Amino acid sequence: MPSSPRESIERDGYYIAQVLEGDELAGAQRAAEVIYAQVHGTGAAGGNGRHGQGFLQADSPLRPFFYLLHDPRITGVAEQALGGKVVWEGASLLCSAPRYTQGWHRDVLQIPEDKIDDRWFSPDVFFNNIQLNLPFFDDACLWIVPGSHRRPLTPAEAKAFAGSRHITADGVEMPGGIPVELKAGQCVFYNNNLIHRGHNGRGQKRVTYHSGYARTDVQPSWHFYGARRDPKQEEFLRSLGPEMRSIHEEYHAALARFPDFEKSWRVAE
Ligand SMILES: O=C(O)CCC(=O)C(=O)O
């Protein structure tokens, strides 16, 4: 019997589901082509060509993808995986260049290195975050070490990190690291405490929706604290309709319930 999202994510750290198909995928690909050409047409952009800051602004080029924020095919898996009602916590579009690469890391980069505690990476600690990548074209740019979210680094992994608690140098070999092979329209949901990196080793044309959710009733993780209130953005959201408005309001309501960023990593203590 296939594993449920929750079982797969708890055991392996990730779960893959088909989200977009047929005409819906073809429409998303047409919009993605336009954005890719805008980002990389001049050849000037490098790296992950990330569209992040402007995701919820009136002039955002990502407007065709706003509906994904409240799409039940996505929120349903996030709710199964985390075991309760979820709140959206951020999104961007990864328009990675053919040479895009990152060092291996867990997503703990916003926490000072001396505060990072190996006890967090354990099956006994509930991690209130689920992240996802939904590519509009075939994408093997997310690399992971399956199962590494629930244990401290092995000695061989620690050697690759060379003393850093945050990130390895680019191009370092990571034992057990594999690319997550996604067909266009498939979505990977993952625990970003996995050791992972972005690496476009095949020079793929990458346009990938990247987002995250947290459970509403439990202290969120450190990922939750990115977005800030912006009056101009609120005015724009009001113009978009009830779903987008409520996403925004639920985010700020959760932030008001759990205002202390530092508590987000003290939860395991
Ligand atoms: O490019 C990717 O899929 C991974 C991105 C990532 O790990 C990050 O931005 O922290």
Question: Which pLDDT belongs to residue 99?
Answer: 85
Q: Tell me: the pLDDT tens digits for 220-255?
A: 999 898 766 677 777 888 888 888 888 888 998 999
Q: Tell me: the pLDDT tens digits for 11-45?
A: 999 999 999 999 999 999 999 999 888 888 766 55
Q: What is the mean pLDDT of residues 126-139?
A: 97
Residue nearest to atom 4 of ligand 1 (CA): 198
- pTM attached to this predicted model: 0.94
- Indicate if ligand 1 lies below 6 Å from the C-beta of 184: no
Q: Which of 137, 167, 196, 200 to mutate to test the pocket of ligand 1 (most atoms within 8 A of CB)?
A: 196
Question: Which pLDDT belongs to residue 49?
Answer: 66
Strands of 208-215's sheet in order across: 14-18, 186-190, 130-135, 208-215, 86-94
**C-alpha 238, offset from chain centre:** 26
Which tokens belong to 267?
């939860």
Spatial distance between the Cα atoms of 32 and 9, rounded to a whole number of angstroms: 28
Q: Tell me: the pLDDT tens digits for 89-123?
A: 988 889 888 888 999 999 999 899 999 999 999 99
Residue nearest to atom 3 of ligand 1 (CA): 142
**Of ligand 1's atoms, which has the minimum distance to the CA of residue 105?**
7
Identify the CA nearest to 120 among candidates 45, 219, 209: 219
DSSP string over 196-256? EEEB-TT-----EEEEEEEETTS---GGGG-----HHHHHHHHTT-HHHHHHHHHHHHHHH
Residue nearest to atom 10 of ligand 1 (CA): 107
- Indicate if ligand 1 lies below 6 Å from the C-beta of 196: yes
> Tokens 């009056």 belong to which residue?
231
Residue 53: pLDDT band with limits 50, 70, 90: very low
- Indicate if ligand 1 lies below 6 Å from the C-beta of 132: no
- Indicate if ligand 1 lies below 6 Å from the C-beta of 107: yes
Residue nearest to atom 2 of ligand 1 (CA): 198
Question: Which pLDDT belongs to residue 29?
Answer: 97
Q: Which of 16, 48, 144 to mutate to test the pocket of ligand 1 (most atoms within 8 A of CB)?
A: 48
Question: Which pLDDT belongs to residue 90?
Answer: 86
Q: Tell me: the pLDDT tens digits for 138-166?
A: 999 999 999 999 999 999 999 999 999 99
Q: Which of 99, 142, 148, 181 to mutate to test the pocket of ligand 1 (most atoms within 8 A of CB)?
A: 142
242 CA from centroid of ligand 1 (Å):
30
**In the predicted structure, residue 1 carries a pLDDT above the cut 80:** no
- Indicate if ligand 1 lies below 6 Å from the C-beta of 95: no
- The SS3 assignment for 254 reads helix
- Out of 2.60.120.620, 2.60.40.1120, 3.40.50.300, 3.40.605.10, select the CATH number for domain 5-266: 2.60.120.620
- 8-state DSSP, 258: S
239 CA from centroid of ligand 1 (Å):
31
Identify the CA nearest to 211 among candidates 55, 104, 105: 55
Looking at per-residue pLDDT, the higher value among 48 and 31 belongs to: 31
Residue ranges of domains in the chain: 5-266
Identify the CA nearest to 134 among candidates 199, 190, 196: 190
- Indicate if ligand 1 lies below 6 Å from the C-beta of 198: yes
**In the predicted structure, residue 54 carries a pLDDT above the cut 60:** no
- Indicate if ligand 1 lies below 6 Å from the C-beta of 19: no
Strand 14-18 relative to strand 142-144, pairing: unpaired
Helical (H) or strand (E) element with 79: helix 72-82
Looking at per-residue pLDDT, the higher value among 56 and 116 belongs to: 116
Residue 9: pLDDT band with limits 50, 70, 90: very high
